[in-house]
Structure 1
Amino acid sequence: MYIYNVTINVDETIHFEWLAWMQENHIPAVLSTGKFTKALMSQVLVKEDMGGVTYSIQFTCDTKELLFDYYQKDAPQLRKALFEKYGNKFGAFRTEMKVVQEFFPNN
């Protein structure tokens, strides 16, 4: 299993509009590509010196091939839509991770 993590710092002036757009449009659009099994959106609680509000969005997929297929076929237009809507009001970096093992508490 692989995790495609996108960490985004958003300018406070567009924060609530951006959050709604991500929840209602962008994240569902990424999931509708069929490459990912789920998404988890978290707010980063550490305050950045540069200001803004930071989020981590983790998309889970079953294979590395699906992730690379997403990069080639889907990511360019989805990223373009994000940049066209919010321009330089956010910064993002992406991380790929491979899940080694999941742990659950004993019940």
Structure 2
Amino acid sequence: MFIYNVTIQLTWGIHEEWLRWMTAEHMPEVVATGCFESSRLLRLVEVDETDGPTYAAQYMSPSKAMYNRYISNHAEALRKKSFDRWGDQFIAFRSVMQQVFPNKS
């Protein structure tokens, strides 16, 4: 299992609307590409929230090839939609992790 993790810090001004959009539109759209089996959204705690909250959106992919397909075929368009809607009111950091334990294979 591969986990595509997107850590996002956003401004307080968009928080409620962004959270609705993320859970009702964006995350389902990412999963609908067929490259991920599921997703989850986590809020970081014990961090400085002066400028706004920080979340981690995680998408579970059964293989690196499926993740690569997402990056090649879908990521650019979905990232553009995010920037078109929210502009510079958020920053995002992306990473990919491989599940080691428990081993699901």
Question: The TM-score by the shorter chain falls in which range?
Answer: over 0.9
Q: Find the counterpart in structure 1 of residue 57 from structure 2.
A: 57
Aligned length: 103
Query: Taking structure 1 as the reference length, what is the TM-score of the superposition?
Result: 0.91
Q: Find the counterpart in structure 2 of residue 45 from structure 1.
A: 45
Q: Find the counterpart in structure 2 of residue 17 from structure 1.
A: 17
Indicate the structure (1 or 2) with the bigger Cα radius of gyration.
1
Q: Calculate the aligned-residue CA RMSD, in Å.
A: 1.3
What's the CA shift for 1:49?
Answer: 6.4
Q: Find the counterpart in structure 2 of residue 7 from structure 1.
A: 7
Q: Matched residues in 2 for 1:67 and 1:91: separation?
A: 22
Which amino acid letter does the alignment assign opposite residue 90 of structure 1? F
Q: Find the counterpart in structure 2 of residue 26 from structure 1.
A: 26
Structure 1 unaligned regions, length at least 5? none
Q: Matched residues in 1 for 2:34 and 2:49: separation?
A: 37
Query: Taking structure 2 as the reference length, what is the TM-score of the superposition?
Result: 0.93
Q: Does 1:98 align with 2:77?
A: no
| Equivalence map 1:55-94=2 (5 Å) | 55-94=55-94
Could you tell me the percent identity over the aligned residues?
A: 37
Q: Matched residues in 1 for 2:7 and 2:48: separation?
A: 13
Structure 2 unaligned regions, length at least 5? none
2:12 partner SS: coil
What's the CA shift for 1:86?
Answer: 0.2
What's the CA shift for 1:101?
Answer: 1.1
Which amino acid letter does the alignment assign opposite residue 57 of structure 2? I
